[in-house]
Structure 1
């Protein structure tokens, strides 16, 4: 696996431009999968973080993600078929006038060593991914435990390596030795002396924040996986939170295949994406008088099916 420096030239990326990255390319291209490589990348990341070397830190972060990312993922349990109209059954997706796309569940069965029909395509040992995943959860649990987040609604949103919590919990984390600007596996405030004054968290990777910076400037910070940032507006988040679907048109993405290479769509080729209002299957009750959304105490308290429609909740204000 080799890496081209020009891949780092995206100005919108958190990684540096191409020229800044060239000293790290030789290191990247010489790496092979072995435990020593993982230790090397961690040591380098720590070194650059202590020195305040943002370019070096982000390059080593990219190196680690490229070598060890995607080592654990959910198995596919569906099989796709292309049927003609003779074998067509209702409710399958129509591709064109004569063909339909069909997705069926694969029957679960025990796989033995003699079963050669199933091939593993993993290129990294699964136990490494299991260790990384469990270790990252252990680190995050340290933060959650200190602020009593397992028993109290102290966490507004969480991702793999981040927590959205009230600033009143910061001193608790500091006293527990979990806060540092430069140390590895320690917490830091991404907003410096500023903070979030309004947050709307609708689903994993779907959130909207208004940030008050240290010098008193209000800024938007929005995330909507599957949407382009320049296509996302506050109205989309309000629509979802109020129980309505949202949709928009996007330019078609480049397609890559081993047989046809890269297919670049025309400028006017569009595709429509839609997001359902219950994309996260709401598992918390509407906010109480203090704005706290408690989880349902029993799974039987809520029931969703594909035709479920939300009421127009009136507790969303901007």
Structure 2
């Protein structure tokens, strides 16, 4: 059979080029390293951590000396901590869900800056009001252009359509109690403590719902 007679096999919609065990190892190793920092500031037993990600902790500056004394701070060494804000720091923060946070930073020069993260949201569309709305217990809805797709037969296709994304406000309440008077969200002791509004819909525990343009909200 020559090249022209070979049957055409359409490409798969996705490919897996990286073994899953590599990702699992990286995440597990990161947790092991981060646990050293959490242990030093007693973060397992006290609410010392405002937000955490795979390789970062948002903590009070009063804990920085503890990490330094424990030998966990370095500008150049691997697996050591580094202060991203220098002599400045965060003076206001909203940590609403994984990858959803809003910070006002005071730089060492005395300048106020915003730092926004909102996974799934376009940077040019996001507004401070969206964070406030989400923090107040209301869903955030916005309209986006559908992302471009690439196929073997058609090349790059840019759809001239829009989709609606609804960011749910309840994700943190699934994992933690509502903030107390000090703003601390403690974990539930058992499932019976989860007293949520009857309008909350827990379909897949996802805070993001995508709706097509012609669907009803």
User: Which structure 2 residues correspond to residues 10-159 of structure 1 after superposition, within 5 A?
Assistant: 122-159=16-53
Q: 1:229 aligns with which of 74, 99, 123?
A: 123
Structure of larger gyration radius:
1
**Which structure carries more relative contact order (alpha carbon 8 Å, separation 6+)?**
2
Q: Give the Å deviation of 1:124.
A: 4.4
Q: Residue 205 of structure 1 aligns with which residue?
A: 99
The structure carrying a bigger strand percent of its residues is 2
Q: In the alignment, is residue 291 of structure 1 matched against residue 183 of structure 2?
A: yes
Unaligned runs of 5+ residues in structure 2 are: 1-14, 202-217
Q: In the alignment, is residue 165 of structure 1 matched against residue 64 of structure 2?
A: no
Unaligned runs of 5+ residues in structure 1 are: 1-120, 310-318
Q: How much is the aligned-residue C-alpha RMSD, in angstroms?
A: 2.1
Over 3 Å counting, the alpha-carbon distance change for 1:208 and 1:276 in structure 2 is same
Partners of 1:238 and 1:181 lie apart in 2 by 35
Q: Give the Å deviation of 1:186.
A: 0.8
The number of equivalent residue pairs is 187
Q: Give the Å deviation of 1:282.
A: 3.9
Q: 2:70 aligns with which of 176, 179, 185?
A: 176
Partners of 1:129 and 1:224 lie apart in 2 by 23
Q: In the alignment, is residue 278 of structure 1 matched against residue 170 of structure 2?
A: yes
Over 3 Å counting, the alpha-carbon distance change for 1:154 and 1:204 in structure 2 is same
The structure carrying a bigger helix percent of its residues is 1
Q: Give the Å deviation of 1:270.
A: 2.6
SS at match of 1:240: helix
TM-score, scaled relative to structure 1: 0.54
Partners of 1:190 and 1:242 lie apart in 2 by 29
Q: Residue 209 of structure 2 aligns with which residue?
A: none
Q: 1:194 aligns with which of 88, 96, 103?
A: 88
SS at match of 1:272: strand
Partners of 2:177 and 2:187 within 8 A in 1: yes
